[in-house]
């Protein structure tokens, strides 16, 4: 009999979205005539830009041609895409080299797989509330997790505590689920803390393209010292509507060198390269053609149009909440709006109330950690019409919550 990884017994059921779906299905069965508006799940709704579609088609055509046919590509991604990403970063003042960029099928895989590079004996610091992947992938390896509270008092942007030591630090900015974004000074504190503790920061920048405020950092590598302590994960999922197409990238600087117990220097860049070439065979040529189109001027312009569409929805939601006197977080440089449930309601009760009285589906904060117990997440991934209608309904029922 195989001995199993019994750490899986320590995982909580990931029941959040299935529980939401069950509740919504049950409600719509009882009320088939009611129109439900979904502002819950973090998935994009607009189609891919036409330039991206054209390039995906050209990728397919290449596979039909004897001369342009592609088999296995480089595990790390095609040079043309890695170069586009280097140029994209340089436009934000960040210098990286193409061989520091690793193309993948998405940031969820990479943020999970990166744990391969670290021993079980590490102290992992994770903010709460959080994107559940960071927690579960560390529990699978039985690593010790310290949670750091993100709450209204710190604007959901916790800062390092010099009295607490950590080896691995997860930061997601702009944040899912809270929409909060760190500024340069705050991220500098994290980088300084990591350098002092010889820790590594795993920085999830999946929502960087939602940043409209030019003073906010879009990459951890805008921060002095970050090349010596940080890995950045990014994705075209939310930036370019690639949630179903699948493409992301991870930047592992060559300056990330630590000392092994026998005194040998170990480079995280070399290790990640080894990990990927051993366990991964690259992203399809077709998808990488589409991904490179995202970084072209036409592709960027089309993505910006879609982002502006979602940003307008976020503005509609945030301004409704503020009219009603509800303090909310996010919504400006993020597709997510996070707010305290009115009248001290717990998030699942508020979920039921909204579904039954306004036919709006959101996400209960409790699904993201204990600090989300009284909070709620709405997303801007829907049409203007539905977002406006949801907010009209919300205003109508607000006084009776």
Ligand X SMILES: *Cc1c(COP(=O)(O)O)cnc(C)c1O
Residues in Cβ contact with 44 at an 8 Å cutoff, skipping those fewer than 6 apart: 237, 238, 241, 243, 306, 310, 381
Compute the Cα dihedral for 178, 247, 43, 30 and give only its sign: negative
Task: Identify the residue among 131, 190, 339, 351 touching ligand X (CB under 6 A).
Answer: 131
Task: Identify the residue among 83, 113, 154, 243 touching ligand X (CB under 6 A).
Answer: 243
Residues in Cβ contact with 120 at an 8 Å cutoff, skipping those fewer than 6 apart: 141, 142, 143
Q: How far apart are CA 226 and CA 256, in angstroms?
A: 9
Residue 238 lies near ligand X (rule: CB under 6 A): yes
Minimum CB distance to ligand X, residue 275 (Å)? 17
* Of 42 and 160, CB closest to ligand X: 42
Minimum CB distance to ligand X, residue 44 (Å)? 9
Q: How far apart are CA 254 and CA 286, in angstroms?
A: 29
Q: How far apart are CA 138 and CA 216, in angstroms?
A: 29
The answer to whether the CB of 46 falls within 8 A of the CB of 237 is no
Minimum CB distance to ligand X, residue 367 (Å)? 13
Class of residue 304 by CB neighbours under 10 A (exposed 0-12, middle 13-18, buried 19+):
middle
For ligand X, which stretch binds (CB under 6 A), given 19-27, 80-88, 140-148, 235-243?
235-243
Task: Identify the residue among 20, 37, 42, 334 touching ligand X (CB under 6 A).
Answer: 42
Minimum CB distance to ligand X, residue 106 (Å)? 3
Task: Identify the residue among 52, 145, 206, 211 touching ligand X (CB under 6 A).
Answer: 206
Minimum CB distance to ligand X, residue 233 (Å)? 7
Binding residues among 244-303 for ligand X as defined by CB under 6 A: 248
Task: Identify the residue among 51, 82, 108, 269 touching ligand X (CB under 6 A).
Answer: 108
Minimum CB distance to ligand X, residue 249 (Å)? 9
Residue 107 lies near ligand X (rule: CB under 6 A): yes
Instruction: Enumerate the H helices of 69-183 as residue ranges.
Output: 79-91, 107-113, 132-139
User: Applying CB under 6 A, what is the total number of residues that bind ligand X?
Assistant: 14
* Of 7 and 243, CB closest to ligand X: 243
* Of 279 and 396, CB closest to ligand X: 279
Minimum CB distance to ligand X, residue 318 (Å)? 19
Minimum CB distance to ligand X, residue 68 (Å)? 28
The answer to whether the CB of 242 falls within 8 A of the CB of 267 is no
For ligand X, which stretch binds (CB under 6 A), given 32-40, 67-75, 101-109, 294-302?
101-109
* Of 248 and 367, CB closest to ligand X: 248
Residue 172 lies near ligand X (rule: CB under 6 A): yes
For ligand X, which stretch binds (CB under 6 A), given 69-77, 104-112, 259-267, 270-278?
104-112
Residue 333 lies near ligand X (rule: CB under 6 A): no
What are the two backbone dihedrals, phi and then psi, of residue 244, each rounded to the nearest 5 degrees?
-95, -25
Task: Identify the residue among 40, 49, 59, 106 touching ligand X (CB under 6 A).
Answer: 106
| H/E segment holding residue 376 | strand 375-379
Give strand ranges (E) for 138-294: 144-149, 168-172, 200-204, 230-235, 248-251, 257-259, 265-267
Q: How far apart are CA 368 and CA 132, in angstroms?
A: 7
* Of 41 and 98, CB closest to ligand X: 41
Q: How far apart are CA 132 and CA 135, in angstroms?
A: 5
Beta-bridged to residue 144, according to DSSP, are: 123
* Of 193 and 336, CB closest to ligand X: 336
The answer to whether the CB of 368 falls within 8 A of the CB of 330 is no
Residue 231 lies near ligand X (rule: CB under 6 A): no
Beta-bridged to residue 230, according to DSSP, are: 201
What is the contact surface with ligand X in residues (CB under 6 A)?
42, 106-108, 131, 172, 176, 204, 206, 235, 237-238, 243, 248
């Amino acid at each position: 009999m195989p001995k199993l990884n019994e750490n899986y017994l320590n995982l909580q059921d990931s029941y959040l979205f299935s529980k939401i779906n069950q509740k919504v299905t049950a409600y719509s069965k009882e009320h088939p005539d009611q129109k439900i508006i979904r502002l819950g799940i973090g998935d994009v709704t607009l189609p891919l830009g036409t330039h991206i579609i054209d390039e995906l088609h050209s990728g397919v055509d290449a596979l039909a041609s004897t001369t342009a046919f592609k088999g296995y590509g480089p595990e790390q991604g095609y040079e043309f895409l890695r170069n586009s990403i280097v140029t994209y970063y340089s436009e934000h003042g960040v210098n990286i080299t193409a061989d520091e960029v690793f193309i993948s099928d998405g940031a969820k895989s990479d943020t999970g797989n990166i744990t391969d590079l670290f021993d079980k004996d590490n102290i992992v610091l994770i903010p709460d509330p959080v994107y559940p992947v960071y927690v579960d992938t560390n529990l699978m390896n039985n690593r010790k997790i310290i949670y750091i509270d993100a709450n209204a008092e710190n604007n959901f942007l916790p800062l390092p505590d010099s009295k607490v030591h950590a080896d691995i630090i997860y930061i997601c900015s702009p944040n899912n689920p809270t929409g909060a974004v760190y500024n340069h000074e705050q991220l500098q504190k994290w980088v300084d803390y990591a350098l002092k503790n010889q820790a590594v920061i795993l920085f999830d920048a999946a929502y960087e393209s939602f940043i409209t405020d030019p003073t906010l950092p879009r990459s951890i590598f805008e921060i002095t010292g970050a090349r010596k302590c940080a890995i950045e994960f990014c994705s075209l999922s939310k930036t370019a509507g690639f949630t179903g197409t699948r493409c992301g990238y991870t930047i592992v600087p060559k300056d990330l060198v630590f000392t092994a117990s026998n005194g040998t220097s170990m480079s995280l860049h070399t290790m990640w390269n080894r990990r990927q070439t051993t366990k991964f065979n690259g992203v399809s040529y077709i998808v990488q053609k589409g991904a490179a189109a995202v970084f072209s001027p036409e592709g960027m312009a089309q993505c910006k149009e879609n982002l502006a569409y979602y940003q307008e929805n976020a503005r509609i939601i945030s301004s409704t909440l503020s009219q009603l006197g509800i303090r909310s977080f996010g919504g400006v440089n993020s597709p997510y709006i996070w707010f305290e449930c009115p009248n001290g309601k717990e998030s699942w009760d508020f979920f039921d109330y909204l579904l039954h009285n306004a036919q709006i589906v959101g996400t209960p904060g409790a699904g993201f950690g204990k600090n989300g117990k009284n909070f709620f997440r709405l997303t801007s991934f829907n049409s203007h019409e539905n977002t406006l209608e949801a907010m009209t309904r919300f205003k109508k029922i607000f006084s009776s919550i």
